[in-house]
Amino acid sequence: MTRDEIDARLREFESLCRARGLPLTVQRRAILTAVLERGDHPTADQVHAVVKKGIPGLSRTTVYRVLETLVGMGLIRQLHHPGASARYDGKIQRHHHLICTHCHAVIDVENSALDELNLSLTKKHGFEIHDYSVHFMGICAKCRQKSTKRQRD
Amino acid sequence: MTRDEIDARLREFESLCRARGLPLTVQRRAILTAVLERGDHPTADQVHAVVKKGIPGLSRTTVYRVLETLVGMGLIRQLHHPGASARYDGKIQRHHHLICTHCHAVIDVENSALDELNLSLTKKHGFEIHDYSVHFMGICAKCRQKSTKRQRD
DNA sequence: CTCCGTGCAAAAGGTTTGCACTGGT
DNA sequence: ACCAGTGCAAACCTTTTGCACGGAG
């Protein structure tokens, strides 16, 4: 994510705060910036570790609370898959994920062919669909190398 | 899932156990049966509650361990979405999920149009894809009714 | 000045682990 | 008989909550 995109998102965040009368704290701005700056999908704890460098007193609690707030504002997304703790994703436009079932890495996939699935087909359930994403489960390149070396049983 | 299908899966389970020299315990059979019998996606705790009726001494620990074993054998799947605990899915053929962001319900979607996504498009990542599924996020019918009544703010 | 946000500590789940015992093969 | 599975209790890790203080609007 470029500096400009991050700045744009920060401004969006500021106006959202003002619109809702929410205080614009250092912590909130730093935590949002941290998530946006990372191309990967950090856990709350990873965010905490990064932001703590700039704000030494920062507590884990605050990170959890701010991340929740940001998710509520629609500025970031929360992900969760088996065997790992929750992760946060600053990319909010439609995209998809490769999920390594070995190391739990999450890799973004952008593919316009996957972005136009026919949603009407699922309407019969009375479900109101806000968004969707495709999860690809498998083994990432790194783990593949390791396992061929080791000759997994 | 019909009785016959469940029986077939149980037999598959038995031969897998024999092939690997794993003991075929009452608990394992009961836990697998319980997951297969439910059309929904029970949590470990829900499985425990159900199976405990037949095996009063059953411990939660065993449920967790057996579910993990069954996932490892490829007989069931584990799911995990934000805000909820892990859930288990006896349906292993390709299918998709509607996930209610309000009540965390998970509803199966079977739709052949979604079952033939072009996987080659993601190969550039060096990722070995074993399977995929589409996650639709939104609000289920029940929660929609509730929120219109309540006029959510 | 008034609230909401923050930090700390403690609680609350959900899940995993160590150990002795039981049960399947 | 042997080895893996089970049950219990305690540990663990992530996430949430209660409360007093401090900073943003």
- Residue A99, chain B, CB below 8 Å: the answer is no
3-class SS letters over chain A: CCHHHHHHHHHHHHHHHHHHCCCCCHHHHHHHHHHHHCCCCCEHHHHHHHHHHHCCCCCHHHHHHHHHHHHHHCCCEEECCCCCCCEEECCCCCCEEEEECCCCCEEEECCHHHCCCCHHHHHHHCCEEEEEEEEEEEECHHHHHHHHHHCCC
Mean pLDDT of chain B: 88
Mean pLDDT of A60-66: 98
Stronger pLDDT, B31 or B123, i.e. the higher one: B31
Q: Count of CB contacts below 8 A, A vs B? A: 119
Give the angle A120-A126-A131 at the CA atoms, nearest 5°: 55
What whole-number distance in Å separates Cα of residue B53 and Cα of residue B41? 19
CA/C1' separation B58–D4 (Å): 17
What whole-number distance in Å separates Cα of residue A34 and Cα of residue B15? 50
Give the torsion through C-alpha atoms of B145, A131, A6, A65, to 10 deg: 40
Q: Looking at CA atoms only, how far is residue A48 from chain B in angstroms? A: 19
Of chain B, the percentage scoring pLDDT greater than 70 comes to: 90
Stronger pLDDT, A38 or A145, i.e. the higher one: A38
Contact check, Cβ <8 Å, B125/A79: no
Give the pLDDT band (50/70/90) at residue A147. Answer: low
Question: Amino acid identity, residue B81?
Answer: H
Residue B45 in tokens: 């705790």
Q: Residue B116: what pLDDT?
A: 77
The 10s digit of each residue's pLDDT in B26-64 is 999 999 999 999 988 999 999 999 999 999 999 999 999
**Chain A residues inside the 8 Å CB shell of B146:** none
The 10s digit of each residue's pLDDT in A86-143 is 999 999 999 999 988 877 888 998 887 788 776 666 666 788 888 899 999 888 888 8
What global pTM score does this model have? 0.88
Mean pLDDT of B4-22: 95
Mean pLDDT of chain A: 89
Question: Does the structure show a pLDDT above 80 at A9?
Answer: yes
Identify from A97, A127, A131 which residue to disrupt to test chain B contact, counting B C-beta atoms within 10 A and taking the largest count: A127
Q: Residue A124: what pLDDT?
A: 65
- How crowded is residue B101: how many other Cβ atoms within 10 Å of its Cβ? 17
What SS3 class is residue B142? helix
Contact check, Cβ <8 Å, A138/B126: no
Nucleotide of closest approach to B80 (CA, C1'): C14
